[in-house]
A and B are shown apart, each in its own frame.
Chain A
């Protein structure tokens, strides 16, 4: 029971940490435009932008969701940029991330299945299809474990053995990778030595959603749960937040080329910032006034 509590607390920390991080990014003031081309959101997947058109302000600004989704799919599922620019990392990071995607998918299916079955039971109904779905999902977890273990080992070895990478890898980078590898290996050994059908892991999660004590556990599963808990608490403080920060990087910076329209919300927010103090100390900017006043005056 204690490990279930630990996992729940870790999950709570993870969710809180992630929500705080996301809220922090979302609440930041409007910035000056800093886009990059080709932008995934450009209509027709063109390299260029609307600035290629004369008197562009007379044409409606438009972003293509289809181009955007195509770009995102290439990045998320194929790691296209990494493949084009860093093949040595790509051959490990692709299976590593695919492993994590499959494991996350399996976890979500388990939680959904367990939750669904629980509520159906409350309603006095049986749900054989839930058990079926949960069993069908098991190969996902097995494939995920193998891919994540392979990819993570490869990334660790690459960072340890490649002098160019080793010199720039920090202790926290190594720690993060070791933590993931240890977690994955524990689950892998639990599966290989004790729980070939994953019935134990499935049961553990089911009992977790019902707040019932777990029955079918083994030492590797317990170790895996402890390590997973540590990872969940640690993750929101690391660069691994790119899992959700990438939304802001791409949609709020790199692809954000919407021209500021008169009377728009952006203009209102910018005007608000222009009333704030500049605050810098060099003589050419330190007149003590607001941004609006300082940038309208001579240095």
Chain B
């Protein structure tokens, strides 16, 4: 039993002393490291990759079960390279698998590899190479060739479990692909492995699948909020707005034929209702003809399928398009949510064929238009505190929406500043690809210590001239997922208490600058 525990502890483990240094932090605050699983958990759960688990996988109980899993994995791998089953990503995947020179140009672009202090297993090429070796040996049919070229790898449960966990050590930020001279996309490989596991072996984090896409399609939202609960929240928000502004501000729901169907990440309604409230204040003041939807999935713009499963991605995108058509909306405007924007506006573009076609865009160009043409009355002096912009990967690098948020901040925040690096060269918040909502076992520790590490460093660097806690500082994250991760990072590293660093969205700042209502922040 002791040996078994030892094997499952991991190829390597994440030790605090190996991680890259974050300046401005006392030793006690940093250096908490990743809590190891208990011996009892180690007996049940396979964490043989790095001592961390995102999936909570259990080893097969018999040799027959293991063989079945291996066969199913190979079936899935075959389907990944077949035009019928994987037409959605066959070309990008094949090009990536064929053309990597293993030059490691991508490694230093990866925030996880850098933050980990350069751990081999977090190289962007690690999982791609593993998959390439398995494909060459088991699907290429050239076992001798595989041996000669050094691709002789044994496919068993441990290999599958390690590959599965490794696909959840990448935030799909695709900074590696941007740095690669060949355009090879190791982020895509991580997503394709997740897809194989989900669509063939039904393996996926429960937060993304059972509680995520399945719940969204059946109940209406990945938060578990059903249409009746949404109506209650809408009423709560209107009451709250009255308390905060002294005005009756209506939040239109299911208005037929509206110009704009606004699609929020439903997490906003529960965790940050001030965000949809700010939208209501701004859009009403500017006279925009808009509505929310109370239909199933129509009030939750998230699409976790974007991170692990093409079928679920397509189902949710189609549901959103149908809701808009039923309401007769002229366009869908996605609220402050990066992955929802990318999934619906970019990735799903070619899924919405024929009658499903609907105009879709991010909220940022609309907000930019309202702010720059003075459709609302603003006083930037109301936001006279240091504000730094976090660039959500899904908006900048993956959708090319870079300038509108900056033009808005330049107008409404006199002390606006950039992170380094920023724009399309930004670092992920560390919560991308579902990490921000994945909270099983010791995964949150890993997310705080490794994937979010460079973001903490960037935030502190950006505010290094005003760390004095008497000065309020604001991290602007126009994305729900990033906001959740930044909230957790500020709390974990005590940046809120220690340095008075707060966080929020972009509309919160716009609404706070509006002169016809009391301050919102």
Q: Does B129 contact A (CB under 8 A)?
A: yes
Query: Which listed residue (B101, B108, B424) contacts A37, Cβ 8 A?
Result: B424
Kindly identify, within residues 345 to 362 of chain B, every residue whose CB is under 8 Å from any CB belonging to chain A: 345-354, 357, 359, 361-362
Query: Which listed residue (B90, B188, B396) contacts A29, Cβ 8 A?
Result: B90
Query: Which listed residue (B102, B312, B352) contacts A173, Cβ 8 A?
Result: B102
Chain B residue at smallest Cβ distance from A294: B311
Instruction: Give bound CA distance, A17 to B350, whole Å.
Output: 32
Residue pair A276, B87 in contact (C-beta under 8 Å): yes
Instruction: Give bound CA distance, A39 to B183, whole Å.
Output: 11
Residue pair B88, A165 in contact (C-beta under 8 Å): no
Query: Which listed residue (B107, B118, B351) contacts A295, Cβ 8 A?
Result: B351
Q: How far is the CB of A257 from chain B (nearest CB, A)?
A: 7
Q: Does A56 contact B (CB under 8 A)?
A: yes
Q: How far is the CB of B458 from chain A (nearest CB, A)?
A: 18
The stretch of B75-83, B435-443, B447-455 that contacts the partner chain:
B75-83
Shortest 9 CB-CB contacts between residues of A and residues of B: A49-B400, A295-B314, A37-B400, A279-B85, A249-B183, A29-B87, A280-B199, A86-B105, A171-B150
Residue pair B218, A51 in contact (C-beta under 8 Å): no
Q: How far is the CB of B135 from chain A (nearest CB, A)?
A: 14
Residues on A with C-beta less than 8 A from B184 are: 249
Residue pair A169, B201 in contact (C-beta under 8 Å): no
Q: Does B418 contact A (CB under 8 A)?
A: no
Contact (A37, B103) CB under 8 Å given A29-B91, A279-B85, A295-B315: no
Residues on A with C-beta less than 8 A from B177 are: 36, 254
Between A and B, 30 residue pairs with Cβ closer than 8 Å are A28-B91, A29-B91, A32-B89, A33-B347, A37-B399, A39-B400, A47-B400, A47-B423, A55-B331, A55-B361, A75-B181, A81-B179, A82-B103, A93-B103, A168-B123, A245-B95, A249-B182, A253-B95, A253-B183, A254-B177, A260-B349, A270-B350, A273-B83, A277-B85, A280-B76, A284-B312, A295-B315, A295-B318, A299-B213, A299-B217
Q: Does B229 contact A (CB under 8 A)?
A: no
Residues on A with C-beta less than 8 A from B107 are: 164
Q: Does A195 contact B (CB under 8 A)?
A: no
Q: How far is the CB of B183 from chain A (nearest CB, A)?
A: 4
Q: Does A125 contact B (CB under 8 A)?
A: no
Kindly identify, within residues 107 to 140 of chain A, every residue whose CB is under 8 Å from any CB belonging to chain B: none
Residue pair A32, B348 in contact (C-beta under 8 Å): yes
Kindly identify, within residues 14 to 69 of chain A, every residue whose CB is under 8 Å from any CB belonging to chain B: 24-25, 28-39, 42, 46-57
Residues on B with C-beta less than 8 A from A226 are: none
Q: How far is the CB of A161 from chain B (nearest CB, A)?
A: 14
Chain B residue at smallest Cβ distance from A48: B402
Residue pair A82, B181 in contact (C-beta under 8 Å): yes
Query: Which listed residue (A239, A291, A294, A295) contacts B99, Cβ 8 A?
Result: A239
Residue pair B92, A34 in contact (C-beta under 8 Å): yes
Q: Does B401 contact A (CB under 8 A)?
A: yes
Q: How far is the CB of A264 from chain B (nearest CB, A)?
A: 10
Query: Which listed residue (A47, A171, A246, A260) contacts B183, Cβ 8 A?
Result: A246
Query: Which listed residue (B95, B104, B369) contacts A164, Cβ 8 A?
Result: B104
Q: Does A85 contact B (CB under 8 A)?
A: yes
Contact (A52, B311) CB under 8 Å given A29-B83, A29-B90, A282-B199: no
14 further A-B contacts with Cβ under 8 Å, apart from A249-B182, A262-B354, A273-B83, are: A32-B89, A32-B347, A48-B403, A51-B361, A52-B402, A55-B359, A84-B179, A270-B350, A270-B351, A279-B84, A280-B79, A281-B75, A296-B315, A299-B312
Residues on A with C-beta less than 8 A from B91 are: 25, 28-29, 31, 248, 252-253
Q: Does A274 contact B (CB under 8 A)?
A: yes
Q: Mark B262-304, 1 if CB is under 8 A from A, else 0.
A: 0000000000000000000000000000000000000000000
Residues on A with C-beta less than 8 A from B158 are: none
Contact (A271, B101) CB under 8 Å given A52-B365, A86-B108, A280-B200: no
Interface centre among B101, B200, B400 (most CB of A within 10 A): B400
Instruction: Give bound CA distance, A52 to B365, whole Å.
Output: 6
Instruction: Give bound CA distance, A34 to B184, whole Å.
Output: 12
Instruction: Give bound CA distance, A273 to B118, whole Å.
Output: 42
Q: How far is the CB of B264 from chain A (nearest CB, A)?
A: 19
Q: Does B180 contact A (CB under 8 A)?
A: yes
Query: Which listed residue (B108, B200, B348) contacts A282, Cβ 8 A?
Result: B200
Residue pair A53, B365 in contact (C-beta under 8 Å): yes
Chain A residue at smallest Cβ distance from B100: A239
Residue pair B347, A242 in contact (C-beta under 8 Å): no
Contact (A298, B396) CB under 8 Å given A245-B98, A253-B183, A254-B183: no
Query: Which listed residue (B103, B178, B403) contacts A52, Cβ 8 A?
Result: B403
Instruction: Give bound CA distance, A81 to B349, whole Å.
Output: 29
Instruction: Give bound CA distance, A276 to B85, whole Å.
Output: 8
Instruction: Give bound CA distance, A29 to B350, whole Å.
Output: 12
Tally of chain B residues near chain A (CB < 8 A) = 96
Q: Does B72 contact A (CB under 8 A)?
A: yes
Q: Does B214 contact A (CB under 8 A)?
A: yes
Chain B residue at smallest Cβ distance from A167: B120
Q: Does A283 contact B (CB under 8 A)?
A: yes
Query: Which listed residue (A42, A55, A279) contacts B400, Cβ 8 A?
Result: A42
Query: Which listed residue (A36, A53, A89, A246) contacts B103, Cβ 8 A?
Result: A89
Residue pair B72, A281 in contact (C-beta under 8 Å): yes
Kindly identify, within residues 190 to 215 of chain A, every residue whose CB is under 8 Å from any CB belonging to chain B: none
Q: Does A220 contact B (CB under 8 A)?
A: no
Q: Does A5 contact B (CB under 8 A)?
A: no
Residue pair B398, A285 in contact (C-beta under 8 Å): no
Residue pair A242, B362 in contact (C-beta under 8 Å): no
Residue pair B199, A79 in contact (C-beta under 8 Å): no
Kindly identify, within residues 62 to 112 of chain A, every residue whose CB is under 8 Å from any CB belonging to chain B: 75, 79, 81-82, 84-86, 89, 93
Q: Does B148 contact A (CB under 8 A)?
A: yes
Residue pair A36, B178 in contact (C-beta under 8 Å): yes
Q: Does A153 contact B (CB under 8 A)?
A: no
Residues on B with C-beta less than 8 A from A299 are: 213-214, 217-218, 311-312, 315
Residues on A with C-beta less than 8 A from B381 are: none
Query: Which listed residue (B179, B217, B311, B346) contacts A35, Cβ 8 A?
Result: B346
Chain B residue at smallest Cβ distance from A58: B359
Q: How far is the CB of A72 from chain B (nearest CB, A)?
A: 12
Q: How far is the CB of A163 from chain B (nearest CB, A)?
A: 10
Q: Does B151 contact A (CB under 8 A)?
A: yes
Contact (A171, B98) CB under 8 Å given A32-B350, A278-B311, A295-B314: no
Residues on A with C-beta less than 8 A from B517 are: none
Residue pair A298, B345 in contact (C-beta under 8 Å): no
Q: Does A13 contact B (CB under 8 A)?
A: no
Residue pair A239, B423 in contact (C-beta under 8 Å): no
Q: Does B38 contact A (CB under 8 A)?
A: no
Q: Does B414 contact A (CB under 8 A)?
A: no
Residue pair A168, B125 in contact (C-beta under 8 Å): yes
Residue pair B403, A86 in contact (C-beta under 8 Å): no
Residues on B with C-beta less than 8 A from A242 are: 99, 101, 182
Q: How far is the CB of A80 from chain B (nearest CB, A)?
A: 8
Chain B residue at smallest Cβ distance from A259: B349
Instruction: Give bound CA distance, A239 to B151, whole Å.
Output: 15
Contact (A165, B397) CB under 8 Å given A32-B350, A299-B315: no
Residue pair B105, A89 in contact (C-beta under 8 Å): yes
Residue pair A31, B174 in contact (C-beta under 8 Å): no
Query: Which listed residue (B102, B182, B397) contacts A168, Cβ 8 A?
Result: B102
Residue pair A34, B396 in contact (C-beta under 8 Å): no
Contact (A276, B84) CB under 8 Å given A39-B400, A51-B345: yes
Residue pair B84, A260 in contact (C-beta under 8 Å): no
